[in-house]
Structure 1
Amino acid sequence: MDSDYDHLEFSERSLRMAFIRKVYAILGVQLVITTAVVLMFSYIDGIHDYVVDHPWVLYTSIAVAFILIIVLVCATNLRRTVPWNYVCLLLFTVAQSVAVGVVSSMYAREAVCTAIGLCAAITIALSIFALNTKIDFTVCSGFLFVSLIVLLLFGIFAAIFATQKNLEILNLVYASFGALIFGLYIVFDTQLMMGGKHRYSISPEEYVFAALNLYLDIINLFLMILALVGGRR
């Protein structure tokens, strides 16, 4: 009996480790694509000038990304079906990368590079923390969701009532609060992916969904850091 239990536990651990490797492989490809697009939009003057003069590029990429994320979140069977889950995720990543690239092109190149470096360092540090801490962040989903709603409402409030005098302060508060929330989400989603000793976990079949969650956490963290670094063109 003990031997059968140990074999089952070993099989579950092996399945979870394969799942984690697959998630990080997908996430790595997503981040490489996004980083390449962001640097291209920032350093190639022709592309920068075009997206600045043609705002439809930003609006179209946001609309496409929004539609695809709804599809990936709501269509459970689709995101578990190869190759359509990879196709949808790739299209979403490209659309999201273009949107982030357009936003990044509005900032100085030095600020973009600084934000990329800081985001990478913070993400690695938080991932290591999530893998080693005894604190279970998966029980904090309600708190994180409420914090995200507060951030959204604060952003709407700031957009409506911001003046030339308080704009910089509101931007600093919003970006700082946002960076904290998405940093916590990185820890939360990393532990969901790990499973094991944590109360909640993601099914090994949901590797696309897990990669999507972590990707969005990192992208949003990058945008918040970029807003904090400043240096608009």
Structure 2
Amino acid sequence: MTDIESQKPVPENDPSHAETAPMYDPPPYMPPPYPTGPDVYPQPIPVAVSFIPPNLPPEEIDMSKTEEPNPDPAAVFPAEESQVFVSSFEDRTVRKAFIRKVFSVVTIQLLVTFTVVCVFTFSNTVKAAVQRNIWMYLSSYIIFVVVGTCLSVFSKFSRTHPWNLLGLSVVTLSLSYMVGTVASYHNTTAVIIALGSTLVISFSIIIFSAQTRLDFTVCNGILLILSIDLLMFGFFSIFFYSNVLQILYGCLGALLYALFLAVDCQLVMGRQKYSLDPEEYVYGALIIYLDIIMIFLYILMILSGSSKN
């Protein structure tokens, strides 16, 4: 009896039912306590950029300043090919053509001059005619000085074709007449020896200047000093003339112009520090031609001073 009473259900409104009531299973699905959608991050708020005016003086505040356009990147940073600047004289083809042209012109000039010298030396009739007409010598000297100075000083004249070749032809003919007149006063044997010596010396110096690594183009100051000394030596030799002084003066002059020939050949070839412009082929031919002619005249002076006649 007691056991049956103890097994009676407890009413639901019994306050002790909450403590003794059985636990039920949870529902099959429970909503999560956090959102199940994709993560959403806060977007950054853009910061307003404003122009801060510079701290200018009061007199420059009202001045408007235009903004320069952005330069072309190709102009600021040129391509690698455009940064390589090659001089026209560095081109082997241009250099060889320039040297060939200069020495071709010099060869023609020397042929003309030495032909005139031979005619004035071997022909007694021509020799007597040029010695009687000394005014022709003075006229050729004036023409040579005027036209030669124009070719040396005015680069526009020496570069303008065909006036540069015309001026060079006038210089060659006038100087050939002068040299032929001077050679007519000397012995025929001395003239032949001077011609041969000049050709050998000039050819040797040209070959040496083309092969050596010595830079003669930086010796212009030394050559200027030696030229002034030779000029003063020749001036004082007028008052104290003797065969010994004439031979010494001729040796110094031939040596000086041999150095000039070495310098001028390197200027034409362009292998050293200084070089001529490829357009100055007339000027290059003129200076080499003058060097060779002066070597011939000084060798002729040495031979005439050493001869008994």
TM-score after normalising by structure 2: 0.70
Match of 1:205 in 2: 279
Identify the match of residue 252 of structure 2 among 171, 177, 180.
177
Q: CA deviation at 1:11?
A: 6.3
Identify the match of residue 72 of structure 1 among 148, 151, 176.
151
Match of 1:162 in 2: 240
Q: 1:150 aligned to 2:229? A: yes
Q: 1:226 aligned to 2:226? A: no
SS in 2 for 1:138: coil
Q: CA deviation at 1:127?
A: 0.6
SS in 2 for 1:205: coil
Gaps of 5+ in 2: 1-79
| Structure 1 stretches of 4+ moved >2 Å | 4-11
Once residues 87 and 213 of structure 1 are traced to their aligned partners in structure 2, the CA distance between those partners, rounded to angstroms, is 16
Match of 1:194 in 2: 269
SS in 1 for 2:172: helix
**Contact 2:89–2:277 at 8 Å: present in 1 too?**
no
Cα displacement string for residues 90-123 of structure 1 (whole angstroms, at most 9, x for unaligned residues): 0110000000000001111111011000000000
**Contact 1:158–1:170 at 8 Å: present in 2 too?**
yes
Change (3 A) 1:104 1:37: same
Change (3 A) 1:108 1:194: same
Q: 1:48 aligned to 2:48? A: no
The one-letter amino acid paired with 1:216 is L
Q: 1:124 aligned to 2:203? A: yes
SS in 1 for 2:160: coil
Which structure is larger by alpha-carbon Rg, 1 or 2? 2
Q: CA deviation at 1:8?
A: 7.4
Once residues 250 and 107 of structure 2 are traced to their aligned partners in structure 1, the CA distance between those partners, rounded to angstroms, is 25
Once residues 212 and 117 of structure 2 are traced to their aligned partners in structure 1, the CA distance between those partners, rounded to angstroms, is 33
Change (3 A) 1:11 1:194: closer
Once residues 74 and 8 of structure 1 are traced to their aligned partners in structure 2, the CA distance between those partners, rounded to angstroms, is 24
Question: Which of structures 1 and 2 has the larger relative contact order (alpha carbons within 8 angstroms, sep 6+)?
Answer: 1
TM-score after normalising by structure 1: 0.92
Q: 1:105 aligned to 2:184? A: yes
Match of 2:164 in 1: 85
Match of 1:217 in 2: 291
Change (3 A) 1:185 1:130: same
Q: 1:29 aligned to 2:93? A: no
Once residues 87 and 201 of structure 2 are traced to their aligned partners in structure 1, the CA distance between those partners, rounded to angstroms, is 36
**Count of aligned pairs:** 227
Cα displacement string for residues 132-156 of structure 1 (whole angstroms, at most 9, x for unaligned residues): 1111000101101111111111111
Larger helix percent = 1
Once residues 118 and 308 of structure 2 are traced to their aligned partners in structure 1, the CA distance between those partners, rounded to angstroms, is 15
Gaps of 5+ in 1: none
**Contact 2:88–2:94 at 8 Å: present in 1 too?**
no
Match of 1:17 in 2: 96
Cα displacement string for residues 5-32 of structure 1 (whole angstroms, at most 9, x for unaligned residues): 6997896121111100000011011000
**Contact 1:108–1:232 at 8 Å: present in 2 too?**
no
Cα displacement string for residues 161-192 of structure 1 (whole angstroms, at most 9, x for unaligned residues): 124xxx11110111000010001111110001
Once residues 138 and 126 of structure 1 are traced to their aligned partners in structure 2, the CA distance between those partners, rounded to angstroms, is 14
The one-letter amino acid paired with 1:14 is T
Once residues 136 and 7 of structure 1 are traced to their aligned partners in structure 2, the CA distance between those partners, rounded to angstroms, is 22
The one-letter amino acid paired with 2:212 is T
The one-letter amino acid paired with 1:23 is V
What percentage of aligned pairs have identical amino acids? Answer: 36
